[in-house]
Amino acid sequence: MLAAIPACAQQDQSMAGMNMSDMSSMGNMGPSMAAMAGHMYVTPLRPKQPGDEEKAKAVVEQVKTSIERYKDYRKALADGYVIANPKVDQPQSHFNNAANIKEADQHFDPTKPSSLLYRKTPNQRYKLEGVMFTDRPDATEDELNERIPLSIVRWHEHTNFCAAPADKVQEYFGKSPKFGMFGSIRTKEACEAAGGKFFPRMFNWMIHVFPYEDNLKNAFSMNDDISHNAADRLLPGMVQ
């Protein structure tokens, strides 16, 4: 779900040593996307322009073709992708590629996703279901629209992030988290009162693409709580 922490956050000791990989799978620790209310900005849909749908479909097809080899997760590791928190039991894993994330700040290449998304199934620890693309935090919505039309997709960024002090990092997790992108703290004043460090905006712009879905709405879904391998839903009890 997440891509990269701004330099200011990486350098701040209140993050208690949490790095990109740690933060990449905070979204898979239990709470759903709905729990991020107040911690996320989503681009509004724009009026559809001629060619928008065709451009979005082309991206999906490029993604599908370029990630075929990564159905074997070991090939992803060989190509420089790194598993975020491999020891954590999570339904969806991010395999992050630092070189691709850096390149994405400059230009968009559908064949070089910032992250590969794998779903845990009864028979596979890592079943490829999609990718995540990122853009630099200060990219304009017009720039995002150039990458994938905003009449079809909705990019998002994480906001109002309260980084926990060193002795309270476990409060990122659990059923009622206080800090982080699922936390109850959403203002600078509340964050500082709790001893945290407040970031109005955290991480890069990001968007997920699930190329094995059969329509554009599902291909660009923001819902990570379900499988995006269509066959898994059509054949219950026969998940590969």
Per-residue model confidence (pLDDT) at position 40: 82
pLDDT at 21 over 50: no
Per-residue model confidence (pLDDT) at position 233: 52
pLDDT at 84 over 80: yes
Q: From its phi and psi, is residue 79 left (phi > 0), alpha (psi between -120 and 50) or beta?
A: alpha
Residue 154 lies in a domain: yes
Range 109-115 contact pairs with CB under 8 angstroms and sequence separation of 24 or more: 110/59, 110/62, 110/63, 110/66, 111/62, 111/63, 111/66, 112/66, 113/63, 113/67, 113/209, 114/3, 114/204, 114/206, 115/3, 115/24, 115/81
Residue 227 lies in a domain: no
d(CA 164, CA 168): 6
The CA dihedral of 225, 229, 234, 238, to the nearest 10 degrees, is: -100
pLDDT at 234 over 50: no
Residue 237 lies in a domain: no
Q: What is the mean pLDDT of residues 76-87?
A: 93
Q: Which stretch, 77-81, 86-90, 233-237, has highest mean pLDDT? A: 77-81
Residue 230 lies in a domain: no
Q: What is the mean pLDDT of residues 42-52?
A: 96
Q: What is the pLDDT of residues 193-213, one digit of tens each?
A: 999 999 888 778 999 999 999
Task: Print the domain residue range for 209.
Answer: 7-221
Residue 2 lies in a domain: no
In three-state secondary structure terms, 161 is strand
d(CA 38, CA 112): 31
Residue 105 lies in a domain: yes
If one counts the domains in the chain, the total is 1
Residue 201 lies in a domain: yes
Q: What is the mean pLDDT of residues 61-73?
A: 97
pLDDT at 28 over 80: no
pLDDT at 100 over 60: yes
Query: What's 38's DSSP letter?
Result: T
Per-residue model confidence (pLDDT) at position 74: 97
In which band, very low, low, confident or very high, does the pLDDT at 7 lie, cut at 50, 70 and 90?
Answer: very low
In which band, very low, low, confident or very high, does the pLDDT at 20 lie, cut at 50, 70 and 90?
Answer: very low
Between 232 and 202, residue with greater pLDDT: 202
Q: What is the pLDDT of residues 144-168, one digit of tens each?
A: 999 999 999 999 998 888 999 988 8
Q: b vs e for 13-40, b when ≥16 Cβ sit within 10 Å of the residue's Cβ?
A: ebbbebebbbbbbbbbbebebeebeebe
Residue 83 lies in a domain: yes
Q: What is the mean pLDDT of residues 233-238?
A: 47
